[in-house]
A and B are shown apart, each in its own frame.
Chain A
């Protein structure tokens, strides 16, 4: 039975789409048949991050409105087997999504896939609520800053009340915290919230910590999910995150300030 995982945050720009792309890629690399759905109708981004923007013909809204079949809209990833992308429509708005339509699409996907990742739009309105409504698990993406933490807190409240599991009073959604853009230097200097601060306020299980990294920006612009860049810190951190999502016990990395070696100090080598 497929697991439906929503990647959400409340606040925009914290790394939802990057994380959805990276984690989906990681799951597919481990042999899990995975589909990642862009729920950000009107502000489509996932196709760019996944590097398949030139292959989009049909989208989620077309499928929901019966203008295209699901298989016509699904885009097969070129790099990894087992990975599919269901893009959002760029020309419609979020009212084009209906709860029944989304339920139907997810039910069909459940037959074929192990993991269904829903990339939520920012905010707490219709698009975000539909992305989370049918979820079994939620990955709450949070940056180490107060506004992001508060918005994540708000989203956690909605996950506990405005979802199918909450309405049917079945087992609650399994909530995971993913801290992104973590910069240990700036945490130490007091510019950013510490990991402990975030965990204390949100009080949910930590799934992973992604350091602020040049590799992420590079990956986004190249349209290659950062999980493929296994030599980078962010790539390794996402790989750890995927392992934990699959139930493996991985020690936390990249949360402490690294002492710069003599060479890197002399040549000013940045973290990659």
Chain B
């Protein structure tokens, strides 16, 4: 979808998009500490460090003044490209902007903040926020192309070997998802039946997505890439209605009553 700026001769159009993004959660503000860990990670999986864009999440840090510049330098040394900072105090935000980085509101406030940014026309809010801004302004159009709200309804049993996906929103299955089947959604997955196969919600990185089912027996559950296998699931939760969310940086499975 596009926000048409003026008339015919447009140099560019704004597009909303949801991109998967690596978030680097900082537990330490010490650049040397970060450097040591990055060095060991680099030796483990060199393929990951190919000018990968990352968002630095500093929410967990309790320091008003970060040496953002040095942290960014350490990242670039290891072929990570910081593109934005999430969370932190006002000075952190100012220094992020000074370094040419975007700034995102902390996780809990982010939704409200993103919607606020619609009117404020701020440059700091990068693609993710823009997508939400569009949704807020033109909900009907947003459903068509960026599809964030397009729900797909599937009636019947999803059978072994079948894959049903909702790439633009939620997936609702009225029936069972059998072992060996796979259901995927950009948003949440609702199964009004037994979930015996694999369910992957938030495939474009939406950590707010959830999985809901009438009977949990899933081979694999995943929200925004964070997954649990059947073996990892508490056996007491199996065979009963359940909901799955990504909270506290891990996949939480609860009985659904």
Q: Which residues of A are at the interface with B, using a C-beta cutoff of 8 A?
A: 150-151, 153-154, 156-158, 160-161, 200-203
Contacts and interface: CB of A to CB of B under 8 A. Distances in A.
Contacts of A157: 159-162, 181
B176 A203 contact: yes
A162 to B, nearest CB: 11
Contacts of B160: 150-151, 153-154, 157
A264 B88 CA distance: 82
Interface string B156-190: 01011110000000000001101111000000000
Given A153-B157, A157-B160, 9 more contacts: A151-B160, A153-B159, A153-B160, A153-B178, A153-B180, A154-B160, A156-B159, A157-B181, A161-B162
A203 B180 contact: no
A150 B181 CA distance: 10
Nearest to B196: A201
A172 B101 CA distance: 56
B159 to A, nearest CB: 4
Interface of B: 157, 159-162, 175-176, 178-181, 194, 196
**Chain A to chain B: the 3 pairs with minimum beta-carbon distance, closest first:** A157-B159, A153-B160, A154-B160
Nearest to A201: B178
A225 to B, nearest CB: 31
A154 B161 contact: yes
Contacts of A150: 160, 178-180
B38 to A, nearest CB: 44
B157 A203 contact: yes
Contacts of B181: 157
Nearest to A157: B159
B175 A154 contact: no
24 contacts: A150-B160, A150-B179, A150-B180, A151-B160, A153-B157, A153-B160, A153-B161, A153-B178, A153-B180, A154-B160, A154-B161, A154-B180, A156-B159, A157-B159, A157-B160, A157-B181, A160-B159, A161-B162, A200-B176, A201-B176, A201-B178, A201-B179, A201-B196, A203-B175
A113 to B, nearest CB: 31
Contacts of A200: 176, 194
Nearest to B161: A154
A25 to B, nearest CB: 31
Most buried by B among A153, A154, A158, A160: A153
A63 B157 CA distance: 39
B175 A153 contact: no
Contacts of A156: 157, 159
A228 to B, nearest CB: 35
Nearest to B176: A203
Contacts of B161: 153-154, 157-158
A16 B162 CA distance: 23
Contacts of A203: 157, 175-176
Nearest to B158: A157
Contacts of A161: 162
A157 B154 CA distance: 14
A203 B160 CA distance: 13
A238 B179 CA distance: 30
Contacts of B159: 153-154, 156-157, 160
A200 B215 CA distance: 12
A156 B159 CA distance: 7
